[in-house]
Chain A
Amino acid sequence: MESNFLPSDYFPIVLQLLAAIGFVGLTMLATHLVGPKRKTKDKLETFECGIEQQGDARAPISIKYFLVAILFVLFDVEVIFMYPWAVNFREMGMQGLMEMFVFIGLLLAGFVYIIKKGALDWE
């Protein structure tokens, strides 16, 4: 496994990195030098799209969000098993389809259980 790449081949990446850092640095410097400085109390506050800010961002949020988020993660990730199946859909034929039905059926049973248990009710 001989490497076909020389260190010089990475030059474009270095160039882009320099450009990115340079742009950020230059803009910050320019606004710092050019912009007028008038410090008032309102300007030093956190900017929240013009609305007056309300408390700390780290305020605890309702546990309902947590539950829905976790359930989303669970069902979301199960989709990865469909990729290999979808790629080999023709080769696997009827048997593959049946197995996928079993898989989805089990997921569906879990979903029905969640709904019946009331995990998705908001009130």
Chain B
Amino acid sequence: MTGIIIISLIAIVILFLGLYKLDKAIVPLAVAALLAAITSYALAWNTNIYYFNNMLFVDNFAILFSILTIATTILILLLSPGYFEKISSNVAEYVALILFSLVGVLCMVSYNNFSMLFIGIEIMSISMYIMAGIRKKDLASNEAALKYFLMGSFATGFLLFGIALVYGFTGSFNLETISTLVMESGGQAAALFVAGILFMIVGMSFKVSAAPFHFWAPDVYDGAPSLVTSYMSSVVKTASFAAFIRMFIVAFAGVIHIFTPTLWALAAITIIVGNVIALYQDTFKRMLAYSSISHAGYMLIAILALGPDSGNAIFYYAVAYSIASVSAFAILIKVKALKNSESFDAFNGLAKNNPKSALALTISMCSLAGIPLTAGFFGKFFIFTIAINQGFYWLVGLAILNAVVAFWYYFRVIIAMYMKSPSSDEKIEYGFSYKLVLWIAAIATLLFGLLPGILSGLL
């Protein structure tokens, strides 16, 4: 909670720093504020405090996801020096918008009342609508902004209609009150209530880009500037999933059996659509966009197989996925700047000129694909374990099959880097903070891949 206040205030301060042309101070100040926020969340461990008349409940689940999203944002901000300056001189506004968006994320992961969920989602989304369109003259960026905006508010409409119906049935927005009522009804639910939850599932599926509500995601991820895409595909996605699963863990755990077929179908379609279409992509960025859809499918399995370990499984998956995707986008940004292309061919022979960045990208691709010894493997492993324990054998079989198919497109870029010859001898130059991010990402991926116990027992 202190974290939310720190970040909001510093974001406003940063807006004013921009007015007084103190651009040098912006990123250091933002990173310092985020570190302070992480500390404040870490100090709240195991305290389980309610804030604002039970609107927010900062339990360990909320703390873990808050720290993950804040840490990912730090990594992304460390990549930003030199990136936003090329787009326009409004750097302070961009950083401030990212921080505002993070405030929304923090509300989403610790909400205990549906009004907080709605406000959190909107604070996060409205900032991202702007960030998607910061390249004002670029038509792709314009299109991404408009599409993201229209689809995002469309989804919010569904979510709100669901919330209204649930409110009509239960008479409360409070998750725990709703949960008590659900438990008292003994697994039976009125049509109005079921319809309400279905509408909420549709709204959240839009937000996490689960098929068949995914169609906006590839275009938005493709059209938005790469650094913004990395934020959207890591922090925004993690937060949406945290909010999604929190809804079921706290409020609707008693009636989830009604929605098993729905979630089953959502997960299966999402995994298949994401993986199959990713096979046919020519550009690395669009491939990452479709792969992020398939990852949404894997994480949906954890919601479907709801149990005491679900939160932990999704957290581990989100950690692995966020770190790997930030480092993949970091290298994409540099390759794009060098070759002015986002296709797979742009990565040809990267290993010859830049062996270290090729290695970092290889590690992140292996983690996304779920190769053992990387964090991504245990992410998938935990989710499949809880699904098998609950008897979803067919779905897990399908997911494993698709994970194998996914090797093909992840390895395409690795093959391009190591097997093909480079078109020129230019080397990519990295700044200090850039190197730091890549090192942190690579080490964290390997560390969590070798010692999963560090994170898996926390929740």
Contact = CB atoms under 8 A, between A and B. Distances in A.
Interface of A: 106, 109, 113, 116-117
Contacts of A109: 12
A109 B10 CA distance: 12
A45 to B, nearest CB: 39
Given A106-B12, A116-B19, A117-B19, 5 more contacts: A109-B12, A113-B15, A113-B16, A113-B19, A116-B16
A106 B13 CA distance: 11
Nearest to A109: B12
Nearest to A106: B12
Nearest to A116: B19
Q: Which applies to chain A's interface (DSSP): helix, strand, loop or mixed?
A: helix
6 contacts: A106-B12, A109-B12, A113-B16, A113-B19, A116-B16, A116-B19
Interface string B69-95: 000000000000000000000000000
Interface of B: 12, 15-16, 19
Nearest to B20: A116
Nearest to B93: A117
B211 to A, nearest CB: 35
A109 B16 CA distance: 9
Contacts of A106: 12
Nearest to A112: B16
A113 B90 CA distance: 13
Contacts of A116: 16, 19
B373 to A, nearest CB: 48
Contacts of A113: 15-16, 19
A106 B16 CA distance: 13
Nearest to A117: B19
A116 B15 CA distance: 11
Contacts of B19: 113, 116-117
A117 B19 CA distance: 7
Contacts of B16: 113, 116
Contacts of A117: 19
A117 B20 CA distance: 10
B144 to A, nearest CB: 21
Contacts of B15: 113
What are the 3 tightest A-B residue pairs by CB atom distance, in nearest-first order?
Answer: A116-B19, A109-B12, A113-B15
